[in-house]
Structure formats: structure tokens, C-alpha cells
Chains A and B, each alone.
Chain A
Amino acid sequence: MIKVRGLHKWFGDLHVLKDVNMEVSEREVVVVIGASGSGKSTLLRCINFLEYAQKGQIFIDGVEANAKTKNLHMIRAEVGMVFQHFNLFPHRTVMGNVIEGLTQVKKLSTEKALSQGEDLLKKVGLSDKADVYPAMLSGGQKQRVAIARALAMKPKIMLFDEPTSALDPELVGEVLQVMKNLALEGMTMMVVSHEMGFAREVGDRMIYMDEGRIVEEGEPKELYNNPQHERTKTFLRQIL
């Protein structure tokens, strides 16, 4: 579904991604862990072309894309993204957020978009919030709206960048539950998260990143219980 080959990314002199190679197959859930600043967000953002890597290749569903690709926005539409800080549109209602992509990118009629929007809100358990503005929602509700908004585009893969780390602890569960349901439905997912319960329950593979490199990857329980590298061990000890 997604293939990354020899990816390098620099911010000025800062070498943030160093020869990253990875793949996410269809229906696979890949969890990415690593210390703050190790390049996890940058990797996700490169895959969605919110940042452009200077070297290497990215294939989305077998098709290579880069900064020069025409209609890059249509490729972005195939890759859903959920952000740490939700990034809901504050001037649109919950429903307005969810159908924005449907009416603007997919050019659906408002009627069709609304009917899909209702299904999506039902899926994330927020049917009763359709007409309120994001400012009135809790963090957990905001993140569920953001997930519904991304799902509306029927993406081939969903990228999650620390979707629960800005949430109060008691709100983490409801978001993880929505993500678990997605995984069980067979959604292809790449999730940056240190929620080990989630990783072990639905993760097919876990990747550990350190200083811009993928240091280790494996089946989540395996990597968690039996890390091969010293740095992975240290890191896992720290986040416990």
C-alpha cells in the first residue's frame, strides 16, 4: 500500500530522516514509536506530502509520487491524516468539518455528502453533535470528528500522528476504541503512538525510530518483550 525507499529529509542542516525504508501492506496496522524528535511526525508528513523529502522514493498504492507530481492534492486525498492537535476547522460545525472534503474534493452534492456525513458521525458515536462547533467539544470528541473527517475521503490508508497524546487520560479510551474498530474493519493504518495496549492488541508490526533511522521493527509483542537493540530497550524502559 505504501512503500518508502531510501528516504532522506533535511530541515536546513538538520538531517531528520536518514535512509528510511519501510512498507505498509494492505490491511496492516503499523505502530511507530520513538523518542520525541526522532522524526516520526516528519515521516508521516512526508508520506502525505505535507513535507517534501529531498531524497528517496515514496509509492502510494504502487504509484510513485513526489513534489513534482501533478495533482498531488488528489494523492493526498487518498491518504487520510489525523493530527495530534485535531486541527478541526473552527468556523465549521462538526458536520461541516466532516463533509468539507466530500463537497470540495469529491464534489458530491450537499445532500449526498450529508447522508454520508451522518453515517460517519454515527460510526464515531457523535450523531448528536452534528450541528455544534468544535469549540464546544471535548478533546476526545474533537479527535473522533477529525477521524470521521479523514475517513470521509475513503482513504486507502490512515496516518495517525500521536492521536491521543494531547488528550486528558480519561478521554484516550474513546479515541482508541474508534481506532481499534477501524483496524478490525481492515483499514490500513500507520500510527505514531506510545499506547502499548493499542499496539499489542491491534498492531501487526511495530517500528522503533531513533534519530531519523528505523532501528528495529517486528511484531509488537515480540519487539516489546524482547527488543534486540540497546537503544530500543532503553526507550521502552523510559516510556513505561
Chain B
Amino acid sequence: MIDLPWDFTAIPRFFPGFYVAALLTLQITFFGILVGLVLGLTTGLMRLSKNNLINTPAKAYIWAIRGTPLLLQLMIIYYGLIDLVSIDRMPAAIIGLGVHNGAYIAEIFRGAIQSVERGQREAAMSLGMTGAQTMRRIVLPQAFKRSVPALGNQFIIALKDSSLASAIAVRELLLRARQLGASTMMMLEMLMIVGFYYLMMTSILTLLVGRVEKRLQVSDYRE
């Protein structure tokens, strides 16, 4: 047998030790998505406004964020703004991930809202509902439902992208692996552990999104 330079028995031994880092990864992702959803819904709606004063800032935000790397955005928030405000690394990571995802989620919502047939709006308006009521009770519920698959996809991207927070010294999974890998001289083993963590988390997320999709389909079924 060839003597491998790796000690894979280290994987199960070190695996549990990563759970604090995994919790950090989950935290960044969860709060990042939350910020992203709020920003995304707001700017998605702004983007659809006919008023240029409202849609222009939304367009500019989406354009700037989607046209630059997340890593750069994180650096700007954490290092770049230091003279203006000093933001801790965790909040910086959450804001960065949130602002980044907000732009993508805005486009998801916008597409979903536009995909709701014009007749839905007209039927609501003809009942005497106001524009706001129509949006809230008729258009948005249908748009949300249609955006679930794309949102799920975006959440998985966000989970994986949270690893970039390692670049601003957040000790989430990836940074933890690099640190432990260096100190134990078992880089590949530690990176593989982190790989398993990500696979676990993305698989669970995929499952959850599938569940939500199924539940939302009740009204589509014929008997």
C-alpha cells in the first residue's frame, strides 16, 4: 500500500470541533438573507415604480452591486469605511452579504411581480381595492410563491458566499479550516471537513425549500 501524506482519520476527530464556526456561518447567512430580503423587496418594488425619483436609486443600487465582486464589497465595508465608521467584522459580514443579496433578491421579486398576469390586478381594482391593497393581497402573495425556487437558489449561494467573510477575519468555517489546517499541518483534512459541513447545510436548505414549494402548491392542484 502506498503511504498517503494525509491522515483521514483526523476528519472524524476534528469534525465536531467545527461546530462553533458552523454556527457563525449559519448566523452570517441567516441574518444576511434577512437583510437581503428586506432590501430586495423594498428595492424590487422601487424598481417597478413609474416615478424616476424612486426607480433610479434602485436601478443604481442593483447595477453597482451586481457589477462588482462580493469580496470587494466586504472589503469596502470593513476596511474602506474605517475612517467613517468602524464596523465590527460580524456586522460587516452580515451587512455585506445582505446588501449583496438584496440586489439579486430585488431582481427575483421584480421578475415574479411582473409575471403575475395583468388581469389579477385589474380584477382587484375593479372590486374597488386600492393600488396598495391590490399589491399586498393579490399580487405579492402570488409573486412570493413564484419566487420561492429562485429565492432558494439564492439562499444556497448566500450560504456558500458567506465563506468570503473569512477575508475580513470572521472565524466562520473556511477561516477556521485554514487556521487549524496550518497549525496541525493537515490542510486538506480540515478543508474537507468544512466541505462536508457546507454539503450538509446546503442539502438541508435544498430540502426545506422543496418542502415550502410543495406546501405552497396546494391551490394549484386539481382533484
Contacts and interface: CB of A to CB of B under 8 A. Distances in A.
B51 interface: no
A85 B220 contact: no
Interface string B199-223: 0000000000000000000111111
A36 to B, nearest CB: 18
B123 A83 contact: yes
Given A135-B220, A135-B221, A136-B221, A89 B126 contact: no
Which secondary structure dominates where chain B touches chain A?
helix
A79 B142 CA distance: 25
B80 interface: no
A29 to B, nearest CB: 19
A74 interface: yes
Interface in B113-150: 117, 119-120, 122-131, 133, 137-138, 141-142, 145
A108 interface: no
A79 B129 CA distance: 12
B221 A101 contact: no
B119 to A, nearest CB: 4
Contacts of A77: 127-128
Contacts of B142: 90-91
A133 B219 contact: yes
A100 interface: yes
B213 to A, nearest CB: 14
B129 A105 contact: yes
A83 B119 contact: yes
A63 to B, nearest CB: 15
Interface in A85-142: 85, 87-92, 100-101, 104-105, 132-136
B119 A150 contact: no
A215 to B, nearest CB: 27
A48 interface: yes
A202 interface: no
Instruction: Count chain B CB atoms within 10 A of each CB in A101, A104, A146 and give the residue with the most.
Output: A104
Interface string A62-77: 0000000000011011
Contacts of B219: 90-92, 133-135
A163 interface: no
A104 B137 contact: yes
Contact of B120 (A48, A80, A87, A135): A87
A141 to B, nearest CB: 12
B36 to A, nearest CB: 24
Interface string B164-184: 000000000000000000000
A45 to B, nearest CB: 8
Contacts of A133: 218-221
A149 interface: yes
Nearest to B141: A91
B211 to A, nearest CB: 18
Given A87-B119, A91-B141, A91-B142, A50 B126 contact: yes
A150 B128 CA distance: 10
A85 B122 CA distance: 12
A160 B218 CA distance: 30
Interface in B68-114: none
B220 A87 contact: no
When A and B form their complex, which 4 residue pairs have the shortest distance between CB atoms, in order from nearest?
A77-B128, A101-B127, A87-B123, A87-B119
Given A78-B128, A150-B127, 7 more contacts: A48-B126, A73-B125, A77-B128, A81-B123, A90-B142, A90-B220, A100-B127
